[in-house]
Amino acid sequence: MVPLAAMPSDQVRLLLVEDVPQVAQYVRGLLNAQSQIRLVDVITDGGRALAQLADQRPDVILVDALLQGRVRGMALVRELKASGLGIPVIVLTVPQQPVAVSPDDGVDEVLSMPFNGYDLMTKVVAVSKAHAAATAHGPSRMVTVFAAKGGVGKTTLAYNLGVAAATDGARVVLVDGAIQYADLRALLNVPDSAPSMLDLPTDRVAEADLEDVLWRDPSGIDILFAPPRVEMAEMVLARDLEKTVSLLRRLYELIIVDVGVALDEVTLSLLDQADTILLIVTYDGTTLRNTLAMAETFAKIGYPLAKLRYLVNRADAAAGIDPAELTARLGREPDYRVRSDGKVVVPAGNLGQAFVTSDPDALVSRDVVEIARRLAPARAHARPAAAAVG
């Protein structure tokens, strides 16, 4: 993630709804030491908050869940959601009264007391950036597929998810974000002579430029490949890739990015831009440990919990780890599960094909098709829903 000091100079306008003077003063003190966030006002009466939004024009609203008075904290959150103003809300609470992140209910993020300046600023900036990206990009969705350890099937899943979504009627582009080793290029046996993201202009990327560089896969999806050689990776700059992704957002309904394991500048940029980070985990002790470490890192960066989704690959091969233990260690039920079927997955991968099309009736294929439907933006699907993932 871009450090706060290096972020654009435009301030995030924060409105605080808080009736405890000590808490309000504490927030003021934290924000006085920085310039990224401007506290436009503190409203002590929840009943007056909606009426003052037009004058204050905040980018983010911080509401105390314990707010007293005629309109209490969570009631105000619901009113803000129902107003249709579209201003993201962070709910301030205490561990004894937890609040779940639920954008559908108006809770875009939660900040639990006690908190420090870093906690406050990263939450506010992350929510503001996510809202701005969603507003600018409309119905498109970007899913960054990440794994904290190699060998868990990350690239194979990314490719098959893209093919499944395209088969279902979505306009899909796949980005080879594993810059150093070009995992997608290797998986699909694409020759080194095929163009890569380095063939795009570095000043201004146009749609015509993309047409010359994107690889049209036989499956029907477009792919932007990483460079073919390891030493070329350092030539890929995060800022150039950000511009490219912004253009892809306007042209495709679903952007799936397969990133590498290392948290370098390019990977962090692609994680920042994602609407959803799909974390691949397996029943392997090292993978699980690394995944938990990354989840903690993502929390410190300021990613909302709603941005992270866990996919358990080879979910029917627990290998001695109790599924209940995995759920307990993740702190939540995994969002998706994909069963194992080496007889289907391995031959397709060796041929550079998608198993969701080579054997669409296999259980593993049905799992992936259902997940693709759930990850894609809401739209009119060309095919009926597959069986729910077990």
- Model confidence over 74-87: pLDDT tens digits? 989 998 888 877 88
Residue of higher predicted confidence among 318 and 30: 30
Give mean pLDDT, residues 267-282. Answer: 92
Q: Which residue blocks in 8-153 are alpha helix, DSSP H?
A: 21-32, 49-56, 73-83, 117-137
Alpha-carbon gap, residue 124 to 40, rounded angstroms: 14
Report CA torsion sign: 85, 87, 93, 98: positive
The confidence score (pLDDT) of residue 389 equals 32
| More confidently predicted of 52 and 346 | 346
Q: What is the pTM of this model?
A: 0.65
| Of the options 3.40.50.2300, 3.40.50.1820, 3.40.50.10490, 1.20.1600.10, the CATH number for the domain spanning 4-136 | 3.40.50.2300
Domain extents for the chain?
A: 4-136, 139-375
Mean pLDDT of 21-25: 91
Cα angle 166-169-175, degrees, rounded to a multiple of 5: 30
* pLDDT tens-digit series, residues 172-189: 999 999 898 889 998 998
Strand 215-216 to strand 222-224: parallel, antiparallel, or no bridges (unpaired)?
A: antiparallel
Give tens-digit pLDDT for 335-365.
Answer: 999 999 999 999 999 999 999 999 999 999 9
Share of residues in the chain with pLDDT > 90 (%): 44
Look at residue 338 in the predicted model and tell me its pLDDT. Answer: 96
126, 100 contact by CB (below 8 A): no
Partner residues linked to 176 by β-bridges: 258
Q: What is the CA radius of gyration of the chain?
A: 22
DSSP-derived 3-state class of residue 146? strand
pLDDT tens-digit readout, 90-104: 999 999 988 888 888
Q: How confident is the model at residue 137 (pLDDT cuts 50, 70, 90)?
A: low
Q: For the chain, give me the number of helices (H) and strands (E)? A: 14, 13
Quick check: do 4-136 and 139-375 share a fold? yes
Can you name the residues that pair with 173 across neighbouring β-strands?
222, 255
Which of 124-138, 273-287, 355-369 is least confident?
124-138
Q: Look up the CATH superfamily of 139-375.
A: P-loop containing nucleotide triphosphate hydrolases (3.40.50.300)
Coil, helix or strand for 261? Answer: coil
pLDDT per residue as tens digits for the range 3-16: 333 333 357 889 99
pLDDT value for 200: 85
* Average pLDDT of the chain, as a whole number: 86
- Helix, strand or coil, per DSSP, at residue 270: helix
- Kindly give the pairing relationship between strand 276-281 and strand 254-259: unpaired
Sign (positive or negative) of CA dihedral 220, 158, 142, 318: positive
